[in-house]
Structure 1
Amino acid sequence: MQEYAYKINGEPVKVRVPHDRDDLEAFKRWFMNANSKGPVALDTETTGLDIYSPGYRLRTVQFGDPFTAWVIHWERGGAFAEYAARALQHGNRFQIHNAPFDWAVLDRHGRVPGFTASVEHLAPRTIDTRLKAGLIDPRQPQEGGRGTALKPLSAYYIDPSAPDTQGDLTAVFRSLKLTKATGWAGIPLDHPTYNLYAGLDVLLTSRLDAKLDTELKRLEVRPRLVQYEHEIARICAVMQRKGMLLDEEYTRELDGALAAEAEEFEAKARRFGVTNVNAPAQLREALKGMGEAWEDGETTGSGALKVDKAVLHRFADLDRNSGEPLGTRTPNPLALAIIRSKRAGKWRSAYTSTFLETMDSDGRVHPFINSMQARTGRMSVTRPALQTLPSGDHKIRRCLLAEPGEVMISTDFAAVELRVLAALADVKQMKRAIAANEDLHSFTARMVFGPDFTDKHRKISKGIAFGKVYGGGARTIQRQTGAPMEEVRAAMAAYDRVYPEVRRMSNRWQREAYETGMVHVSVTGRRLPLDRERTYAVVNYACQSAARDVLGQSLINLESQGLLPYLRLPIHDEVLASAPAREAKEIGRAIKDAMTFDLFGVRIDADAEIGGQSWGSLYMTERVGKKTVPHAAQLIELDPYFAAHPEAAWEWRNAGLAA
């Protein structure tokens, strides 16, 4: 038995590493005793982060209480894996920090004859200290919070003098001529720093859990909210495990095309003297030489002129979100080249190359779904970061497929942020419009500009509405719409007269924040810390948080209706599913029904759209007159399902024309 003595907050602790069966029997006796008294902390060490990639290995499984940690070398196989698996099988409750990662690792790699440590087996018995910490304070260090990583939380709650063992490991990696990326796979299993690092994590997690419980009780965070977050994390982990099929041939072709596109537009930028599209100083000087003028506020903290996405899109006369031309000025050719080159490079590194790097041996990708990421609790999808895809893109989405013989179903909420705003602020006119099934942006445009409002007026009204929800001011709306500033300011004033409840609610919530330590408690009981200089963001935080919990409750509803096996991803306010083509309408209707409910007298509606086999099929559209309908020829050319069933593509297009 290898044993390491250590101190946490002045108290002696031990990290034990069994070397033979007698040592494993000692571990078994300890575990049976610890398991009978309460939760046991659990953690894993692996070869990296890409759990489903070929060659990935589970190296160690750790168990611990506040004073003793056991590091079991799973990688040795035989009795080591067998004893660890028995503990996983018979443990009553486990404390895990960032449980979805370890669930996925053990589900995929924690297998011995007769037992698999599945998500379904582990999740109902898990206490996730990361989720608890996020409910106390969801802010990351750069936002003024403590963060949700184990080390800074331990320094705050347990032992401020605890050394950075991960930093020690990085130094070990260098001494072994390993990088940070290769070190986790290459460091010898018996290395003392590696085993101490592994053992300390469970010792800290065990101690942290009790501290967080005390803090949750002090802050009166609802126990049901803690349970709710664990349920959502489990549902997302099941979706991640299933993953999505990758069209590898198409993805490789697109990866090559994006590389060529990036080079093409880099060459165009070089004609204007820009040899590096990622060099701000070069861009600044070239654009100044072309006569471009910056507006007030378009400077960095150091006073340099910005050349960020917002500025480049303004010079290129493109909508920042959709990329569509605004028609407000002559587009700057250098700005256009920079945008196109950077976009192609980003799409390649963030999506196509990542798809190919993380694809498992079955040709699937498994995006990591962080069920509670942002300050407001909103989810994120990383590796690949599918939530950052442009809203109208079909090229990247085309890489991902439904199962063979199945089609994609996308179900998203109808204007959920505005419906949440109407519900939380009790906005009378908005609620009446929703009840009458009116288009909210057209309704607002009519109320603000009169019955003869134009498409431009509707766009301004839409910009103001989302500005209220997301905290955008007059200048942001002006940039997005291209409307004169005077017209935007006048429309904003008229909006406040039409919907006075929104401003009243914002003012009341800001006053309350000053009285309660700059924290707003959401309608579901979630703590939303505010920044003193940005209290106006309270409307944004409250609406975004409630919209996220609408999605979370929908996922729980979907599971209770037996629909989880069809679900693949939650993306913003959309749920993506794969279902047999012959049952798609029925399943789409069931998903829609599970995502439709009442929020304080406001109906939260969802719409289900059935596509082909690729996710991208849902975005292959064309304009026919004033309607946007599926592009039948493109669907037949690019989507495997419609290539085999061309008549279905034309039926879908014609249905769009008839709607």
Structure 2
Amino acid sequence: MINHTFPVMGQQVPVRVPQTVEDFQAFQRYIIDVANRGERLAYDTETTGLGTFTKGFRIRTAQFGTPDQAWVLQVEKGDDLQRLASWALRTAPALVMQNRNFDMLATDRHLPGASLEMLAPKTLDTYIYSHLSDPRRRDQGGVGNGLKDAAAHYVDPTAPDTAAGLYGEFHAIGHTKDTGWAHIDVDNPLYLSYAGGDVILTSRLLPKVEARVRELGINPSLIPFEHEVGYVCALIERRGMRISREYTTSLSADLAEQAAEWAAKAAQYGVANVNSTRQLSAALLGMGEEIKERTASGAVKVDKTVLMRLADVDKDWEPIGSRTPNPLAMSVLRSKRASKWRVSYAEAMLRTADENDRVHPKIGALAARTARMSISDPPFQQLPSGKWEVRHAVRADDGCRMISVDYSSVEPRVMAALSGDERMTAAILRGDDLHNLTAASVYGPDFTPGQRKVAKVVQLGVAYGGGAKTIAAQTGLSLAAAQDAVKGYKRTYPRLARYIRDLQGQVIRDGYTLRTPSGRRLVFDRDAAYASFNGEIQSTARDIFAQGLLEIQSRGLTPHVLLPVHDEIIADATDSQAEEVAREIGEAMTMSLRGIPLGTDPDVGGASWGSLYMKKAETMIGNDSWYAANPDAARAAEEARR
């Protein structure tokens, strides 16, 4: 037996690393004793990295622990050790993990006999309890929901940071904090001590965060709800999404070429490096642009928001029509976007695809301060709405068609339900277009398409706590015109405006906290009470979406699902079943909130995800000038349409 220790609360807690037959028998007795006592066993893995489904990924150690000891199995040393770890997981009646989806999926894929379906029902996740208690990261003023931060707050502030503590060991062998996990000697004493430390801390953390959730009076039904939502997301992540390697490789090359072409255009205006804020600000000012925005240090700000205003495009890259677009701003934006898409999407898909050319985006079921989900590696959630080029890389399984089901205007409907605004509610129940109603109220019945677009920005801006200044920047309106638009919006929906004002006051009185309709606890910065209605909308919409996921699971439809993104489900089904499956998923997601119906828009496309976004591209197909300027995109568009 190799014996190490891990310091907690001034004591050296034993960490045991079995080596001989007798050692392994002792480990088995430990597991059986824990099981007989009905004690919850902490479990964790050390792996070669975070790419669970990438080629070369493996579990290096599997560790088990209780508050008073830990056992580390060096499973990369042989199949017998892997089988022993699987036996322990099957034998333990109850488990606890920190961020359980990662370890459950790694175990499901790389430790035979320990499936996701077996692990999930008996595993609690300390991350879920931490997030329910305080959803803020440490840099946002919260406790933080990572193991180190949560353990430092609830267990022992002096306990070592088990990840950061190893970085020195990685550097000593010539690796970084990202690459060292695969190359450090599996017998390294610090590595083994810290592996054991993670389960000791997790085991001690659970009762602390359980007590904190009770103390705060958080809705107890959220605990099983979040565990079940997390499990469904793990099932979806495990299935993954098929990509066309040929198209994705070509896309990467095309994006690199686009980035270079737009960078060359920026160079014509004196910007040799599109990432140089100094060069860019000097060139824009030299062109006569007036830029009032400043960084904290007083420098001219030329971030994406400023550049999009100067380029006269909105967040969806649609023309605003408020000014003449600045060609330098547009060139820089397009060059940087092409570079980002290449790295974050095309190259990420090629890098993370498994042996069957399937990518498995990581789904953070409970991520943001409002509990909104996150999608990473690749970050498909950040793709602009309506853009098909990257989405075209994702393909349905053979003989299948892609499906999209999303909620119809879910956020305005949640706004109406929460505020009880009679005029907004009546408009929704009649099926009116809310943006048309707002535009008519602000500008009169003969409003223009541009004024309707402004009305849409105003509606979202007011709801999300944005003032006239922000709306002016997004729409190109003067500050006075933006202020008039905001006043007109509030006149249109007076009860909504009153609800927002009252909610902000209540949040301040309650110590900058808010309880959502589901009983979730949101915490706001002291200078950000204005964001409370936005937080309530986002959190409520997320819980509605999560409930829809659970209904999809209860109806046996999860095997069709490829990805939950924003308020949309991406799925596939055979050609003969696609329409029916889309309808069934839509029905599963349909519900109501305080009398406001929350319906869905099911859509069936072709063989690629991009085919669901081809309506705009279809209007271009047949246009000779567009063909001449975009031959590769045109061919891809026609293929996606088919």
Q: 2:258 aligns with which of 242, 258, 261?
A: 261
Letter in 2 for 1:33: D
Q: Do the aligned residues in 2 keep the contact of 1:612 with 1:640 (CA within 8 Å)?
A: no
Q: How far is the alpha carbon of 1:634 from its aligned partner?
A: 10
Measure how far apart 1:642 and its partner are.
Answer: 6.3
Aligned to 1:528: 522
* Offset from partner CA, 1:449-470 (integer Å, 9 cap, x none): 3332322232122111111232
Say whether 1:406 aligns with 2:400.
yes
Cα distance per residue 1:289-326 (max 9 Å; x no partner): 1111113xx1111111100001111111222x111222
In structure 1, C-alpha distance between the alignment counterparts of 2:257 and 2:453, rounded to whole Å = 35
Is contact 1:21-1:79 (8 Å) kept? no
Provide the aligned length of Structure 1 versus Structure 2: 633
Q: Which residue of 2 aligns with 1:156?
A: 153
Q: Assess if the C-alpha contact under 8 Å between 1:24 and 1:80 holds in 2.
A: no
Aligned to 2:569: 575
Map Cα deviations across residues 344-371 of structure 1 (whole Å, 9 max, x no partner): 1100110000000001001100000000
Q: Counterparts of 1:130 and 1:522 in 2: how far apart (Å)?
A: 20
Contact 1:67–1:203 (Cα < 8 Å) also in 2:
yes
Listed one character per residue, the Cα deviations across residues 602-621 of structure 1 (whole Å, up to 9, x for unaligned) are: 00111011111100111112
Residues 584 and 6 (structure 1), Cα distance of their counterparts in 2 relative to 1, 3 Å cut: closer
1:317 aligns with 312
Aligned 1:55-204 pairs, distance under 5 A: 55-111=56-112, 115=113, 117-204=114-201
Kindly indicate whether the alpha-carbon contact (under 8 Å) linking 2:266 and 2:328 is maintained by their aligned counterparts in 1.
yes
Please give the alpha-carbon distance, in whole angstroms, between the structure 2 residues aligned to 1:637 and 1:611: 17
Alignment check: 8 A CA contact 1:241 1:366 kept: yes
Matched, 1:340 2:334: yes
Match of 2:636 among 635, 638, 644: 638
- Alignment partner of 1:223: what SS? coil
Matches within 5 A, 1:143-542: 143-295=140-292, 298-319=293-314, 321-542=315-536
Change (3 A) 1:457 1:269: closer
- How far apart are residue 639 of structure 1 and its match? 6.9
- Structure 1 counterpart of 2:141, which letter? G
Give, in whole Å, the separation in 2 of the partners of 1:541 and 1:365.
Answer: 31
Structure 1 range deviating more: 500-509 or 212-221: 500-509
User: Which consecutive residues of structure 1, in runs of 5 or more, have no partner in the other structure?
Assistant: 626-630, 647-659
SS in 2 for 1:577: strand
- CA apart distance, 1:545: 0.3
Equivalent-residue separation in structure 2 for 1:425 and 1:538 (angstroms): 13
Give the superposed CA RMSD. 2.0
C-alpha separation between the residues in 1 aligned to 2:527 and 2:55?
48
**What SS does the aligned partner of 2:60 have?**
strand
**Per-residue displacement from partner, 1:533-554 (whole Å, max 9, x unpaired)?**
1101100000000000010000
Secondary structure of the equivalent of 2:271? coil
**SS of the residue aligned with 1:165?**
coil
Consecutive unaligned residues of structure 2, counting only runs of 5 or more, are 620-625
- Secondary structure of 2:55's partner? coil
Cα separation, 2, equivalents of 1:573 and 1:615: 16
C-alpha contact 2:162 2:198 (8 A) present in aligned 1: no
SS at match of 1:282: helix
Look up the match of 2:8. Answer: 8
1:616 is aligned to: 610
The residue type paired with residue 306 of structure 1 is K
**TM-score using structure 2 length:** 0.95
Aligned residue for 1:245, secondary structure, equals strand
- Residue 396 of structure 2 contacts residue 609 of structure 2 at CA under 8 Å; is this kept in 1? yes
SS at match of 1:180: coil
8 A contact 2:504–2:533 mirrored in 1: no
Letter in 2 for 1:224: S
Deviates more, 1:454-463 or 1:354-363: 454-463
Q: What corresponds to 1:655 in structure 2?
A: none
Q: Which secondary structure does the structure 1 equivalent of 2:318 belong to?
A: coil
Q: 1:39 maps to which residue?
A: 40
1:194-249: CA deviation from partner (whole Å, max 9, x where unpaired): 10110000000000001001101100112210110111100001000000001000
CA distance in 2 between partners of 1:449 and 1:571 (Å): 35
* Residue 269 of structure 1: how far off its partner (Å): 1.8
What amino acid does structure 2 have at the position aligned with 1:97? Q
Distance 1:446 1:25 in 2: 78
Inter-partner Cα distance in structure 2 for 1:249 and 1:623: 21
Q: Secondary structure of the residue that 1:69 maps to in structure 2?
A: strand
- Residue 486 of structure 1 and its aligned partner are, at CA, apart by 2.7
Query: Is the Cα contact below 8 Å between 1:612 and 1:639 reproduced in 2?
Result: no
- In the alignment, structure 1 residue 50 sits paired with structure 2 residue 51: yes
The CA deviation string for residues 144-203 of structure 1, in whole angstroms up to 9 with x for no partner, is: 112111011111111111123323311111112222222111111111011011000000
Contact preservation (8 Å) 1:444, 1:461: yes
Partner residue of 2:28? 28
Shift of 1:444: 2.2
CA distance in structure 1 between the partners assigned to 2:496 and 2:128 by the alignment: 31
Q: The residue matched to 1:533 in structure 2 has which SS? A: coil
- For residue 446 of structure 1, report the CA deviation from its aligned partner: 2.5
- What is the rounded CA distance, in whole Å, between the counterparts of 1:586 and 1:211 in structure 2? 47
Distance 1:318 1:378 in 2: 27
Aligned identity (percent) is: 44
**Residue 635 of structure 1: how far off its partner (Å):** 11
Say if 2:461 and 2:467, in contact at 8 Å, map to a contact too: yes
Q: Is the 8 A contact 1:612 1:641 kept in 2?
A: no
Comparing 83-92 with 464-473, which one deviates more in the overlay? 464-473
CA distances 1:609-638 after superposition (whole Å, capped 9, x unpaired): 11111001111123899xxxxx9x999943
State how far apart, in whole Å, the 1-side matches of 2:355 and 2:421 are.
Answer: 52
- Partner amino acid, structure 2, of 1:122: L
CA shift in 2, pair 1:613/1:634, >3 Å? farther
SS at the partner of 1:378?
Answer: coil
